[in-house]
């Protein structure tokens, strides 16, 4: 299976990542990617980019060196209500790609299964969210059978995050369970690197291995086909509506 887009990538703006946008683009070009995400952390993380950083993302072209650039953000889920740390500015409705993730330092409610299930169900109601970020951590288990069909119904892509298998090493079995339930309910997924350094761009080795183990259908992997990926951009994002 060939993955044609990497939509969860960080730059030096996240302060704990180490490459620029153009360094990420250069590796994406080498690896023949069709699209690349610029999805730095939102404002609840330590030393985050300022609001003005996201307000000015339109300075980055929609396409660089024939690679589509998704100008986005990785937003933090703050509580079981599903509140996100998107500053109250209309600019966030102009972003092309919004990932919602749980990070320990930002999630203020209990980490029990009921709280996490409620948080994800509320994220399903948020029309701006595109991707369910690295939800396989055993520290934030939710009711997969209850929530995953809702992800599919509301157009959220369930991320299989290649960096999880390095950073959150005990998440593999949960990620496999999540992917299996996505397969069962025909819920689309997306493979991402979550790169914090440019050499990680377009690296999906462990995620592909996981999918192979459960014989996951390629047609449910949104970023394994240009037409499939473009259809998602047209139906669920503003990529083709924004002029600049």
Sequence-ordered list of residues with C-beta below 8 angstroms from that of 84, at least 6 positions apart, any chain = 42, 75, 76, 77, 78, 100, 126, 129
Residue 212 dihedral angles phi and psi, to the nearest 5°: -65, -35
pLDDT the model gives residue 31: 98
Q: Confidence band (pLDDT; 50, 70, 90) for 90? A: low
- pLDDT tens-digit map of 102-145: 998 899 988 999 999 999 999 999 999 999 999 999 999 999 99
What is the pLDDT of the chain when averaged over all its residues? 95
Q: What domains does the chain contain, in order, with CATH numbers?
A: 5-236 (3.20.20.140)
- Strand 67-76 to 63-64 pairing: antiparallel
- pLDDT tens-digit map of 148-203: 999 999 999 999 999 999 877 789 999 999 999 999 999 999 999 999 999 999 99
pLDDT the model gives residue 84: 95
Residue of 90, 105, 93 lying closest to 41 (CA atoms): 105
- pLDDT above 70: residue 89: no
Q: Confidence band (pLDDT; 50, 70, 90) for 62? A: very high
Compute the distance between CA of residue 187 and CA of residue 201 in angstroms, rounded to an integer: 25
Q: Confidence band (pLDDT; 50, 70, 90) for 86? A: confident
Compute the distance between CA of residue 157 and CA of residue 161 in angstroms, rounded to an integer: 12
Compute the distance between CA of residue 174 and CA of residue 138 in angstroms, rounded to an integer: 7
- pLDDT above 70: residue 58: yes
Q: What spatial distance separates the first Cα and last Cα of the chain, rounded to whole Å?
A: 32
C-beta of residue 130 within 8 angstroms of C-beta of residue 97? yes
Cα angle at 129 between 37 and 109, to 5 degrees?
115
pLDDT the model gives residue 14: 96
pLDDT the model gives residue 143: 98
Q: Could you count the other beta carbons within 10 Å of the beta carbon of residue 87?
A: 14
Residue of 109, 112, 166, 108 lying closest to 134 (CA atoms): 166
Q: Confidence band (pLDDT; 50, 70, 90) for 44? A: very high
């Amino acid at each position: 299976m060939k993955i044609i887009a990497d939509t969860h990538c960080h730059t030096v703006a996240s302060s704990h990542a180490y490459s620029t946008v153009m360094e990420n683009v250069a590796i994406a070009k080498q690896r023949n990617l069709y699209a690349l995400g610029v999805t730095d952390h939102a404002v609840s993380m330590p030393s985050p980019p300022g609001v003005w950083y996201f307000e000015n993302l339109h300075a980055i072209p929609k396409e660089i060196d024939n690679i589509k650039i998704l100008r986005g953000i990785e937003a933090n889920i703050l509580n079981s209500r599903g509140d996100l740390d998107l500053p109250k500015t209309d600019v966030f409705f102009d972003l092309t790609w919004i990932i919602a993730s749980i990070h320990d330092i930002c999630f203020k409610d209990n980490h029990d299964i009921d709280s996490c299930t409620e948080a994800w169900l509320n994220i399903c109601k948020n029309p701006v969210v595109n991707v369910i970020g690295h939800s396989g951590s055993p520290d934030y288990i939710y009711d997969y059978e209850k929530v995953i069909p809702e992800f599919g119904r509301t157009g959220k892509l369930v991320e299989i995050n290649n960096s999880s298998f390095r950073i959150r090493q005990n998440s593999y079995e949960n990620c496999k369970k999540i992917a299996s339930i996505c397969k069962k309910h025909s819920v689309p997924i997306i493979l991402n690197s979550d790169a914090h350094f440019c050499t990680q761009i377009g690296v999906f080795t462990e995620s592909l291995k996981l999918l192979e183990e459960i014989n996951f259908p390629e047609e449910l992997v949104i970023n394994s086909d240009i037409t499939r990926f473009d259809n998602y951009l047209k139906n669920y994002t503003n990529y083709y509506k924004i002029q600049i």
